[in-house]
Amino acid sequence: MTVRGSYASTGGQEPRAMSGFCSHTGPEGAMTHARPVPPADTVALDRAVCLRLLDSGIVGRILYTAGALPVAHPVLYALRDEEVVFRTSDSDILRTAIGNEVVAFEIDDLEPGSCIGWTVLAVGRAHLLGYADRLTDLASCLPRPWAGERSVGIVAVTTRLLSGRRLVPADPGGA
């Protein structure tokens, strides 16, 4: 899925030009050779655009620590009242939510052939919602769990800190 739309200006700052290589994963998941990609500019996204992109997604990654190690776990989610909400049965995620710990949530969309796209990162506290809390609203908006997964809790992540970047083709006339 590629989301296109307006994005925030860089606030008068020159976007940083990027060029390099883009790697691809082959059919069996093996990394294939890297190939050059055209230069791209990065453009900062404002909070409103980040929230719109978060609202347009369905799969993201919750980032937290377990046993002092970083963990990234894919989840099916919805955005409600500026919170990322998802079902889970993962005990580490549930422990993190019960502890009201700071976590991150990330989504992105990248066009593999050009490495052009966007990324959004939300940082906030995770908290466990009881099934009585907002259940009517959440039952209608949350995606069904992964095949065979039985969720035992609903976790919400605040979007206290929200940032995003869009990679766009470089302006050939720019410096």
User: What is the count of structural domains for the chain?
Assistant: 1
pTM of this structure: 0.72
Q: Is residue 164 a part of any domain in this protein?
A: yes
Give residue 31's pLDDT.
Answer: 53
Q: Is residue 10 a part of any domain in this protein?
A: no
Q: What is the mean pLDDT of each run of 10 residues along the chain (175 residues)?
A: 34 36 54 58 94 96 92 92 88 86 95 85 91 62 70 86 91 64
Give residue 143's pLDDT.
Answer: 76
Alpha carbons 85 and 78: distance in angstroms, whole number:
5
Q: Is residue 105 within 8 Å of 63, Cβ to Cβ?
A: yes
Q: Which domain holds residue 98?
A: 41-169
Phi, psi of 13 (to 5 degrees): -85, 145
Phi, psi of 135 (to 5 degrees): -60, -40
Longest dimension (CA), the chain: 57
Token pair of 175 as six digits: 């410096």
Q: Is residue 5 within 8 Å of 164, Cβ to Cβ?
A: no
Q: Is residue 114 a part of any domain in this protein?
A: yes
Give residue 162's pLDDT.
Answer: 97
In angstroms, the Cα distances linking 52 to 14, 37, 69, 146 are 24, 28, 31, 24
Alpha carbons 21 and 24: distance in angstroms, whole number:
10
- List Cβ neighbours of 95 (8 Å cut-off, separation of 6 or more): none
CATH number at 102 reads 2.30.110.10
Q: Is residue 159 a part of any domain in this protein?
A: yes
Sign of torsion over alpha carbons 13, 49, 59, 101: positive
Rounded to 5°, angle at Cα 85 from 81 and 87: 155
Sign of torsion over alpha carbons 83, 52, 152, 103: negative
